[in-house]
């Protein structure tokens, strides 16, 4: 990821995604939620070029 950006995005597993998005997580301890943010295995990531249109705020509906 370092060759693309200096910060790593949060990537959750499907199971952790459900916990993260659950409205009841507001009652969870911050440490419990932070524990969901683990390094994502680099072998599961793929990088490929996209158009400069992607990420340009002028293209938001």
The 10s digit of each residue's pLDDT in 2-33 is 788 888 888 898 889 998 888 888 788 888 88
- Please spell the DSSP secondary structure of 4-57, one letter per residue: T-SSPPP---HHHHHHHH-GGGGGS-HHHHHTT--PPPGGG-------TTTT-G
Residues 6+ apart with CB under 8 A from 1: 8, 9, 42, 45
Name the pTM for this structure.
0.54
What confidence tens digit (pLDDT) does each residue in 28-51 have?
A: 888 888 888 888 888 888 888 989
pLDDT (0 to 100) of residue 58: 87
Task: With cut-offs at 50, 70 and 90, classify the pLDDT of residue 59.
Answer: confident
């Amino acid at each position: 990821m370092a060759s693309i950006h200096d910060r790593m995005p949060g990537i959750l597993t499907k199971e952790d995604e459900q916990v993260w998005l659950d409205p009841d997580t507001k009652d969870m301890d911050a440490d419990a939620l932070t524990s969901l943010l683990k390094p994502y295995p680099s072998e599961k990531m793929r990088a490929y070029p996209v158009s400069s249109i992607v990420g340009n705020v002028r293209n938001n509906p």
